[in-house]
């Protein structure tokens, strides 16, 4: 019986070794994925800006300048640059304005990023003396503000000095435009 148990033990050991040898000899192949993700950028700048007053003073409806007088003046210039020398803030100066004087400030926004953007919102702030009654300021913004990389849109700010503007007064306000990636803007 001892011999019979030894033979069964040796047989089982042989079967295990054959099975283990087959498992080690099994062929296989492995696939791997290395993943690298580089995110895009949302980046806009002012590329062009100008004022419609380039000669005789432009007038609001109901006013006229038949004598072609050039009394007031308007200028638009860069005020702040980013780290890459892109214009990110412009300054509008209107001097010697009077009731009826009306100008359009034309501003071109370029998408210099890699992701399409849309205008999320825009706001006025920092009105001087809470005197916005002396001016009528409005924006002409395209209905579709989506700008693809390398593209641009034009925004026009209309400024009209009203009859109840204060003589010898300085008016000041800021306008801020916020652009966001296109899929975040309703």
Tell me, what's the pLDDT at 78? 95
In degrees rounded to 5, what are phi and psi of residue 14?
A: -65, -45
For 96-185, strand residue ranges (E) read: 102-111, 117-125, 135-140, 152-161, 174-181
What are the CB-based long-range contacts (under 8 Å, 24+) for 74-81? 74/103, 74/105, 75/51, 76/49, 76/50, 76/51, 76/105, 76/107, 78/46
Residue at 39 is within a domain: no
Q: Is residue 4 part of a domain?
A: no
Cα separation, 74 vs 96, whole angstroms: 9
- Contact call for residues 149 and 116 (beta carbons, < 8 A): yes
Specify if 82 maps to a domain: yes
* Domain extent at residue 126: 44-184
CA distance 170 to 137: 15
Q: How many structural domains does the chain have? A: 1
Q: What is the 3-state secondary structure (H, E, C) of 82-93?
A: CCCCCEEEEEEE
Q: Is residue 15 part of a domain?
A: no
Residue 121 in domain: yes
**This prediction's pTM:** 0.80
Query: Would residue 168 count as lying in a domain?
Result: yes
pLDDT tens digits along 67-109: 999 999 999 999 999 999 999 999 999 999 999 999 999 999 9
CATH classification of the domain holding 90: 2.60.40
- Name the band, by pLDDT with cuts 50, 70 and 90, for residue 36: very high
């Amino acid at each position: 019986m001892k011999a019979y148990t030894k033979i069964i033990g040796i047989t089982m050991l042989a079967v295990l070794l054959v099975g283990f040898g087959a498992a080690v000899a099994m062929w296989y192949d492995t696939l791997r994925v290395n993943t690298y993700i580089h995110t895009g950028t949302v980046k806009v700048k002012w590329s062009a800006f100008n004022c419609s007053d380039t000669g005789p003073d432009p007038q609001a409806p109901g006013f006229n300048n038949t004598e072609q007088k050039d009394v007031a003046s308007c200028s638009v210039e860069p005020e702040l640059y980013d780290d890459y020398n892109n214009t990110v803030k412009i300054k509008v100066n209107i001097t010697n304005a009077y009731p009826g004087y009306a100008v359009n400030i034309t501003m071109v926004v370029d998408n210099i990023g890699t992701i399409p953007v849309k205008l999320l919102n825009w706001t006025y702030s920092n009105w001087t003396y809470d005197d916005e009654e002396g001016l009528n300021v409005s924006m002409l913004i395209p209905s579709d503000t989506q700008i693809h990389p390398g593209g641009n849109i034009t925004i026009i700010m209309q400024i009209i000095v009203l009859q109840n503007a204060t003589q010898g007064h300085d008016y000041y306000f800021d306008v801020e435009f916020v652009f966001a990636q296109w899929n975040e803007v309703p």
